[in-house]
Amino acid sequence: MSLATGKSAFLEGLISGVPFLFVAGPFAFLFGVVAVETGLDIPQSVGMSLVVIAGAAQFTAVQLLSEAASIWVAMAAALAVNLRMAMYSASLQPHLGSAPLWQRVIVSYLNFDISYALGIAHFDERPERPVNQKVAYFLGTIALTAPFWVIGTLIGAAVGGALPDNALIDFAMPILFLAIVGPMLKTLAHLAAAVSSAFAAMLLFWLPTGIGLLIAAAIAMAVGAEIERRRGR
Amino acid sequence: MSHSATEIWAIIAVLGVGTFLIRFSFLGLVGARRMPDWLLRHLRYTPVAVLPGLVAPLVAWPDAAGGDTDPVRLAAALATLAVAFWRKNVLWGALAGATTLEALNWMF
């Protein structure tokens, strides 16, 4: 590989990740505010963002702590929220599994909804890219968002206060993820999987956080795979 | 809050290690080996099986709208999906969604 191609793949990833800064920044700020209100101090709030580095799970843990849940309940619930990332890990394996161990460690630490969604969308478009470029692209997608996440938490925890009540901020995340899903609906199998996922997740929304999504995802994967098996790709 | 500093740091450490192990699982342990075809066939649908389920409840019952279905957000979500699908382009989709959201918010 030439260094230049690795670098340009990283840059491509970096650019594709820019819109998510508008999501991660306010979200991180909000986490800092909520964490401090719950009773975490500033090092604990920032430490959590740095070590756990998973937005929804962190909110879940802090929310349960604020309700005086036992630490076991808070830990179990937050980990359940993150279980979908095992599916992400498995889905990235065919693309990134042959990378050196240290790179897979870094990719794993930075495997979020954002980097996974941008990364897998790109790898499915360009499966022929060499693994080092795929790793570079993946790390590029998150190279700005990850520091934003930690620094945003610090600012929120230190400054406190509230976010302006703007519909665009709270709805930016759903819009960006739907925009990623749109081009992925290439076949009937993909479309059916996406529709099953959405409906099953809403039907199972009453289950503890994260569990409903997990079941919905398993159903949707089975739907997609079964249609593919019957019709061919 | 009724939790000690030690308990909080313990939670952070356990969540950090646990989350990493979840993320590392297949990528770390399977490595470069080829997984069976039936599993790969399921995994091909991971993004379209997880992401719609992740956002569907947020679209249907947004907290910012008091948890009730909000026609403006619903329209913005549909516009995003339709344009992203039609143009096969993430940014056009996001732009269509954001514009729809802001325009309808401004009108109503």
Average confidence score pLDDT of chain B:
91
The structure tokens listed for A173 are 């995340």
Asked whether residue B11 is domain-assigned, the answer is no
Asked whether residue B27 is domain-assigned, the answer is no
Counts of helices then strands in chain B (DSSP H, E):
5, 0
Domain span at B91: 34-107
Q: Which residues of B touch A87 (CB under 8 A)?
A: 43, 46, 49-50
pLDDT band at A232 (very low <50, low <70, confident <90, very high): confident
Kindly state whether A71 is in contact with chain B, defined as any CB-CB distance less than 8 angstroms: yes
Of A79, A227, A52, the residue nearest A153 (C-alpha): A52
- Fill in the amino acid letter for B58: L
Kindly state whether A15 is in contact with chain B, defined as any CB-CB distance less than 8 angstroms: no
Q: Which residues contact B3 (CB under 8 A, 6 or more apart)?
A: A39, A65, A71
Asked whether residue B15 is domain-assigned, the answer is no
Q: Which residues contact A105 (CB under 8 A, 6 or more apart)?
A: B24, B28
> How far apart, in Å, are the Cα atoms of A232 and each of A48, A188, A221, B46?
45, 11, 15, 18
pLDDT at position A48 over 90: yes
pLDDT at position A115 over 60: yes
Using DSSP's 3-state secondary structure scheme, residue B73 falls into helix
Q: Do the chains contact at A182 and B14, CB–CB below 8 Å?
A: no
Task: Kindly give the interhelix angle for B5-29 and A84-96, rounded to the nearest 10 degrees.
Answer: 40
Going from N- to C-terminal start, the domains of chain A cover: 3-182, 185-233
pLDDT at residue A5 in the model: 81
pLDDT at position A116 over 80: yes
Using DSSP's 3-state secondary structure scheme, residue B97 falls into helix
Kindly state whether A46 is in contact with chain B, defined as any CB-CB distance less than 8 angstroms: no
Distance between CA atoms of B26 and B4, rounded to whole angstroms?
Answer: 35
> Which of A65-69, A144-148, A181-185, A202-206 is least confident?
A65-69
Which residue of A150, A181, A206, A233 to mutate against B (max B Cβ within 10 Å)? A181
> Which of A62-66, A193-197, B3-7, B39-43 is least confident?
A62-66
User: What does the pLDDT look like over A135-180, one tens digit per residue?
Assistant: 999 999 999 999 999 999 999 999 987 666 665 667 888 898 899 8
Q: Which residue of B has its CA nearest to A210?
A: B54
pLDDT at residue A2 in the model: 53
Which residue of A15, A98, A171 to mutate against B (max B Cβ within 10 Å)? A171
Kindly state whether A16 is in contact with chain B, defined as any CB-CB distance less than 8 angstroms: yes
Average confidence score pLDDT of chain A:
90
Whether A112 and A139 have beta carbons less than 8 Å apart is answered as: no
Asked whether residue B55 is domain-assigned, the answer is yes
pLDDT band at B64 (very low <50, low <70, confident <90, very high): low
pLDDT at position A52 over 60: yes
In DSSP notation, chain A reads --HHHHHHHHHHHHHHHGGGHHHHHHHHHHHHHHHHHHT--HHHHHHHHHHT--HHHHHHHHHHHHTT--HHHHHHHHHHHHTHHHHHHHHHHHHHTTS-HHHHHHHHHT--HHHHHHHHHHHHH-TTS-HHHHHHHHHHHHTTHHHHHHHHHHHHHHH-------HHHHHHHHHHHHHHHGGG--SHHHHHHHHHHHHHHHHTTTSSTTHHHHHHHHHHHHHHHHHHHHH--
Query: How far, rounded to the nearest angstrom, does the alpha carbon of residue B75 sit from its chain's CA centroid?
Result: 18
- Residue that the structure tokens 């080092």 belong to: A132
Q: Do the chains contact at A179 and B16, CB–CB below 8 Å?
A: no
pLDDT at residue B1 in the model: 57
> Which of A169-183, A186-200, B40-54 is least confident?
A169-183
User: What does the pLDDT look like over A54-77, one tens digit per residue?
Assistant: 988 998 898 888 877 788 888 988
Of B62, B12, B80, B48, the residue nearest A43 (C-alpha): B12
Residue B36: Cβ-neighbour burial (10 angstroms; 0-12, 13-18, 19+): exposed
Domain count, chain B: 1
Q: Which residue of A has its CA nearest to B83?
A: A182
Asked whether residue B25 is domain-assigned, the answer is no
Complex prediction ipTM: 0.89
pLDDT at residue A145 in the model: 95
Q: By percentage, how much of chain A surpasses pLDDT 70?
A: 94
- Residue that the structure tokens 């719609």 belong to: B52
What is the arithmetic mean of pLDDT over A132-136?
Answer: 97
Kindly state whether A162 is in contact with chain B, defined as any CB-CB distance less than 8 angstroms: no
